[in-house]
Amino acid sequence: MKETSKHITDSHGRTHTYLRISLTERCNLRCTYCMPEEGVPLTPKAHLMNAQEVFEIAKIFVDQGVTKIRLTGGEPLLRKDFPEILSRLATLPVTLSITTNGISIDRHFDLLKTHGVKTINLSLDTLNAEKFKKITFRDYFAEVYRNIFKLLEAGFRLKINAVLMKGVNDDEIMDFIQLSEKYPLIVRFIEFMPFDGNQWNRQKTVSYQEILQQVNAHYGEGKVLRLKDAPHDTTRNFKIEGFKGSFGIISTVTNPFCDTCNRIRLTSNGRLKNCLFSSSETDVLTPFREGKDILPLIQENVGSKFAMRGGLSAPEDFNNPEEHTKNRSMIRIGG
Ligand code: SAM
Ligand code: SF4
């Protein structure tokens, strides 16, 4: 008998095929927008998914139609068992990718290539070493910057993620785009989002419109080409005529893309989050350890997903910190 195709859908008809797994809450940077100033209480190791659990839980999702898995964190490369996790996940029929701060990515090129990882998302918010220290509280600019070129030389497809914050790095938009003139990379400007302890307010965000206005004024509107976005892409993609690479804008707050969302998040301690903005979570690790079937929990979690931004659907919802900071800090979710 032909097996019916399986998938995880929500009540708004969206099918979820993309799982983002956070491997750790630890990080070697302290980005102000991600890690609260006072740090975060770390979950004891015994309560985090081990390599075998990451694989087995991921497999349940893949059996239900997930075709893409991204490893994130915290800094995923800090997991000592990262090679084991990656090699196990590579046995599943999925596209694997990783989001990293790039500090130590060059030590893993062979491993990544062996297991079919072709695209790397590297986060870098400034091209200025002093500013890097102010944003991250650490002095690793040289390593990260060097790794951009090592990644390109090694043949990886590279996306650079920059979180834009007014008065901090919004004066560097053109410098970042300029990188795409000679290099075939994709620079993505991410709107600063509110999470627990990150001192967010609307005035610090740089909107989709503001970015485009700056770019159009600099290059001339006719030179800024709108590219076709891939299905489910959260990025609105553009290119400057004649440049090798491209740039994009991810504007969760001012220009959301929830209609086509296909993402589910699994935190390093095995909690399912159906939206980055959702303040509710489902523990799947405890029942999994007790030998229970976690599929009904997954279906229930995704089934109850809000149509938009975890229920923060009105722009005014972002005026009230009570509403938008009920969530975990980003470092403990996994971006
Ligand atoms: N450590 C890795 C890194 O920095 O790429 C992976 C984890 S990090 C949480 C994943 C992504 O989330 C990064 O691109 C980071 O810039 C983004 N991010 C973190 N906090 C954010 C915030 N408040 N608003 C928007 N993006 C944020
Ligand atoms: Fe670490 Fe990434 Fe968060 Fe920066 S954004 S503190 S590198 S997890």
Ligand 2 pocket test: pick from 20, 25, 34, 333 the residue with the most ligand atoms within 8 Å of its Cβ: 34
Distance 74 CA to ligand 2 centre (A): 6
Give the mean model confidence (pLDDT) for residues 155-171.
Answer: 97
| pLDDT tens digits along 236-258 | 999 999 999 999 999 877 766 78
Distance CA 79, CA 24 (A): 7
| One-letter amino acid of 208 | Y
Counting from 1 in the atom list of ligand 2, the atom nearest the Cα of 101 is 7
Domain count, the chain: 1
Q: Is residue 2 part of a domain?
A: no
CA dihedral 326, 332, 333, 335 (to 10 degrees): 120
User: Angle, to 10 degrees, between the axis of helix 82-89 and the axis of helix 51-63?
Assistant: 20
The single residue listed with the structure tokens 């503001």 is 210
Q: Is residue 3 part of a domain?
A: no
Mean pLDDT of the chain: 91
Residue 297 contacts residue 284 (beta carbons within 8 Å): yes
Give the mean model confidence (pLDDT) for residues 109-130.
Answer: 98
Q: What is the CATH number of the domain that holds 61?
A: 3.20.20.70
Judge whether residue 4 has pLDDT over 50.
no
Judge whether residue 143 has pLDDT over 50.
yes
Distance 61 CA to ligand 2 centre (A): 26
Predicted TM-score (pTM) of this structure: 0.92
Give the mean model confidence (pLDDT) for residues 25-51.
Answer: 91
Q: How confident is the model at residue 39 (pLDDT cuts 50, 70, 90)?
A: confident
Cβ(197) – ligand 2 distance below 6 Å = no
Distance 136 CA to ligand 1 centre (A): 12
Q: Is residue 108 part of a domain?
A: yes
Distance CA 226, CA 284 (A): 41
Print the domain residue range for 30: 8-333
Cβ(31) – ligand 2 distance below 6 Å = yes
Nearest CA to ligand 2 atom 3: 34
Q: Is residue 40 part of a domain?
A: yes
Nearest listed ligand to the Cα of residue 25: 2
Counting from 1 in the atom list of ligand 1, the atom nearest the Cα of 330 is 20
- The DSSP letter of residue 223 is G
Nearest CA to ligand 1 atom 7: 73
Judge whether residue 92 has pLDDT over 50.
yes
Q: Is residue 181 part of a domain?
A: yes
Q: Is residue 112 part of a domain?
A: yes
Quote the pLDDT of residue 194.
82
Judge whether residue 331 has pLDDT over 50.
yes
Judge whether residue 178 has pLDDT over 50.
yes
Q: Is residue 212 part of a domain?
A: yes
Return the minimum-mean-pLDDT range out of 40-44, 45-49, 113-117, 281-285.
40-44
Give the mean model confidence (pLDDT) for residues 162-186.
Answer: 97
Judge whether residue 2 has pLDDT over 50.
no
Which residues in 87-103 are b (16+ Cβ under 10 Å) and which e?
Answer: ebbbebebebbbbbbbb
Nearest CA to ligand 1 atom 12: 335
Counting from 1 in the atom list of ligand 1, the atom nearest the Cα of 200 is 23
For 264, phi and psi rounded to 5 degrees? -130, 145
Distance 152 CA to ligand 2 centre (A): 22
Quote the pLDDT of residue 62.
98
Q: Is residue 164 part of a domain?
A: yes
CB-defined site of ligand 1, < 6 Å:
27, 33-34, 72-73, 75, 99-101, 123, 161, 163, 190, 192-193, 195, 198, 330, 335
Distance 331 CA to ligand 2 centre (A): 6
